[in-house]
Structure 1
Amino acid sequence: MEETIRVAIYARVSTEEQAEHGYSIDAQLDTLRSYCTLYKKQIVGEYVDRGISGKSTEGRYELQRLLQDVKAGLIDEVAVWKINRLARKNIDLLQIVEFLKKHNVAFHSFSENFETQTAMGRFSLHLMGAISELERETIVDNVRMGHRQRAKSGKHNGKVPIGYRVEGSADGRNRDTKLVIIKEEAVLIRKIFEMYASGQGLKAIANELNWEGYRTGTKKPFSTCAIANLLDNPIFVGKIRYNQYQNWGEKRRRGKNDHPILEDGQHPPIIDQNLWDKVQLLRKKKGDMPKKRFEGEYLLTGIIRCPECGAAMTASRTVNRSKDGTKVTRMYYSCGRFRSQGSSVCHANSIRKAEAEKAVTDRIQSVLEQPDILKAIVKNVNEKRSGRIKPLRDELSRFNVRIANLEDKRRKYLDLYERDEINYNLFSERLKVINGEMDNELTQKARLELELRGDVAEPVPYELVRSLIKRFDELLRKSPFEQRKTLLHLIIKKIHLDDKRRVNDVELCFSSETEKHFLSVAPSAVQTAEGAFPIDGKAPNFKQQLCIVI
């Protein structure tokens, strides 16, 4: 007897696609259900990501759940309406299909009518994936072209800094907008430029503004970075700058463009040209100066936390003279917010570098030397994990109730429309609101189900925890500085200090990735290569993330 093929249906629609092109989740599902019925295939699950873009796999909780079920051997075939529902980037598409192939799961696209079980089908996949990515890139290029044209004509794009507000309408492609000066904020901008032109540094300016109660456009205290961004923005001198960074979504500041568009704007300036030129001359001069270099090796920068405000602590030092006249350098970890935003926000709360680093390594060793303490820690972890299950399930039930209520509302409006008791415009408006709420609820439900699935795992064995910490401790003692710092930042999530600035607890997080790359055996031929960690034997493999506090 021929075995029934188990099919998982995957559907996706972004908010923009639903609004502009009328793509429908229901239509995708109905089409794929009919396909499975026609070919007598069993539907074992429907995975739907609503209101989510396909440009990446992040935030697509239903796709993640689908891949987990593939890995668990619950699926024989994955069916989609079009391949761009699965991914819009060719590299993402091929990686997903390769994952399916690795687990002997076929991939079928209804619209393109091909499967990956044949050579011609795999060729078609590559071809259609490239076409889909070309389509997306063409849309992106068209949007960029529109933004570029606006910038060249002296019009702004996107958000504006403090000092200005946007007036006018922005309906689709018809963006009849202009920048208008906010007088109260313009006074602050002039104050910042004048303070810097008078010789004050970034930190001194941020500290003074914070003490005087000023805040950024996002209502946060000023930092040195925020001040620098304002001083470097030509919008205040009546210019429009565009394309300063290319491909920001992936490259961030590494994608800086040396030749951005810079045009005279259609908006009034806040700063006169003479003041602007003076500030830019000072910025260049200070930027060419050598940056401070601290002696010693700061292993815990960014992961040790300020006991007062919780911000990450950074490297600092003091230089004093001893009684015999020689210089003595003392190295510390100090609050990053204090160093960036001044004493109005927090205090230094410094802890000596050597003291902090020794306390962390001693804490790890002491846990290994006292099994009773570690057993109590593991017991506490397992109790917390099991204690989270009920609240998660209760929250999931509330999502199900809200989803059911929205379904009822949608059916009621459909009935009213079919009986001609409401007109099309009202029906469309109400349905759009309901669909938006439904998409949000279903997305959150998918996130919760994924989280719940991870939390119902079996209790964490004591032997596993001890083995991982033992490996971690061994590597810290054997590895050179660069690897040791990398390992600390991978494994240690946070280090908390008490009110006397002593190490209170250390939060460790182990995952399958850290185990694979850092806690497993390193090839003997490349023991000295960058990223290789000297260790013998093999660390225990595990599939869940494990966080403990010691």
Structure 2
Amino acid sequence: MKAAIYLRISKDTTGEGLGVERQREICRRHAEYKGWEVVKEYVDNSISATKKVQRPAYDRMIEDVKAGGIDVVVSWKIDRLTRRPIEIEQWIELHEKHGVNLATADGDIDLSTGSGQTIAGILANIARGEMKTKSDRQRAAGLQRAQQGKQWGPHRPYGFEHVTMAHVPLEVENVRGMYDDLIAGVSQHAIARGLNERGQLSTTGKPWNQTTVRNLLRAPRNAGLSHYKGEIVGKGQWDPIVTEETYRVALERTSTNAGGGGARKYLLTGVAKCGICGQGMVTAYLPGKKRTYACTSGKHVARAADALEYQVTETVLAILDATPLPDLTADKSAPKYSQLTKDADTLRHRLDSLATEFADGDLTASQLRTATERIQGNLAQIEKAMARRGAAGILAPLAGAGDVREKWGKLSIPRQRSIIDALAVVTVHPVKNRARPEPEAVQVVPRQ
């Protein structure tokens, strides 16, 4: 009989293929004992057999079986070949059409009989069940660790020592600078470029890019928060790098993957919105090299840049002149930030308690769902309030005695952009006569 050997290991952490080598030795010994000639060998190293991922060697083996010349496929255990019952059905069909059988170190599987087919299916289901149980245990342990505010997984996060969770001074300085730059309007791409130019690499030893910057800025651990699968579950047992207030602002500003190509040069790029489609406006140049702001579609709105910037700036400065900065940066009627944090912690602990009550049978599934939705809604409102209080810090450069207009003129474009975006919603509507647009076609509505 002509035998093919299939070898697979889910995760090869060293890259040396030692697990595959052990399987090869056992499978070849079994084929030799049976008197089979090994004609082909297929290896999928560090690839799962549970998930719907492509296994190149496995797919080649299927095609070779269909082409003929393979009587039996030998694997160490059935779960090396498959953990999916649907693939067992495929092997039964391959046996019926091409006569191939399966064999493992634990024994051969005769797919020509009903009992053999049943055994193959049972073994695949058992393997799948074992993986599900292991996965459930890992998830439960991860959630428990997060709820207890304990340290993270096997990889050291930027800014923290791995075991002690103490701060790494230089990295902490970089992290705080990244948050400051983001709030000042610097793009994520530009933040990454600045880190790379200074020779500051990530904990993997690789340069930064927009994605890694975004992921770091959105990491709750930087604010001293413990989380599990994207959900904050409580306070961590480590010192925060930034306040939760700062973290909430960054969370809103990185709510999409868009990172921008660099620090935006112009005042209203992305800040002014099209009155038709609502998309951010970009800088464009009309014939004669006249700078304009235009809708990203290029169809709805276009406006001369200098005139639009002047009108929006004057309106925003009028808002600042009319409302004393202390009233803007510190709403006396709003809860203090410490109280918001306390309220958020209380609601998170209540969510944990609900899960326990449901597990103990004190709540029905319907009661759990209703209570959870209500608490999560309240928690979302508190988190938004945190972000609003954090955004008020953007106005800090204009606070204190002195002429606001004079201070405005000394600010960088990114700072001015951040203040405009924090104070107002700028919407540009179409006009009938572009040469003499009506002032009311530009709406600058103060944010609540």
Structure 2 length normalisation: TM-score?
0.49
Greater relative contact order: 1 or 2 (C-alpha under 8 angstroms, separation 6 or more)? 2
Higher-Rg structure is 2
TM-score between both structures, scaled by the size of structure 1: 0.41
